[in-house]
Structure 1
């Protein structure tokens, strides 16, 4: 078993660019006032954007091949623009598990199962 840690920060610019590319124009992702009116403290990062940034780092760290993994990810709380997300990773032969915290509060957890290519 191996353990790793890394940090991520998702900028407002990345969130705005993702909104345009994905077509997700929900105002909580692009408008500070709309996000606050909806009960959030700031602009909320898209879940798939956060997940893709985590998976990208894990792919680099473990040299994972496309098509050879199964991904699961659960969000427990919003990830806000410009917050530092601390990722803890535990890797075994068959699985990589991760959890993300912001100021010691768990906001995301998930895992990757390694599998044989079909």
Structure 2
């Protein structure tokens, strides 16, 4: 048996601006279309860690309460552009503490990876 959770998020310009401010990552390829084109991107790209944050959110939802994410990796196989709507899907097999993650934009896989979660013991 497999349990699947999905969520779609649109990476807005405002999200990217806020993430740049909070993280200090002001690389212009995230906000300046001309700079993005210099690096062969058709338009500004989202911060990888911003996308990873949304992936961690669905892993946490799938893992449930009293769990922590102990390992997490996400590979960017295609760019995630500002204003893309990313469908994030997390799947967990029964009796496993590993979750597989995929991100899809317009039918194209943009990210894929996995996360491991651990159940916290009740400390009473």
- Compute the TM-score of the two structures, normalised by the length of structure 2: 0.83
Which segment drifts farther, 108-117 or 21-30?
108-117
Q: What CA deviation, in whole Å up to 9, does each residue of 1:23-61 have, x standing for no partner?
A: 111110121221123211111100011001121233134
The runs of 4+ residues in structure 1 deviating greater than 6 Å are: none
Map 1:22-37 to 2 at 5 A.
22-37=23-38
Q: Which residue of structure 1 lines up, in the alignment, with residue 57 of structure 2? A: 56
**What TM-score comes out, normalization by structure 1 length?**
0.86
Q: Which has the larger radius of gyration?
A: 2
From 104, 107, 112, the equivalent of 2:110 is 107
Name structure 2 gaps, 5 residues minimum: none
Whole-angstrom CA distance in 2 between matches of 1:29 and 1:117: 37
- Aligned length in residues: 118
Q: 2:65 & 2:101 partners in 1: Cα distance?
A: 15
Are 2:3 and 1:2 aligned? yes
Please tell me whether the aligned partners of residues 68 and 116 of structure 1 are also in contact (alpha carbons under 8 angstroms): no
CA RMSD, 1 decimal: 2.0
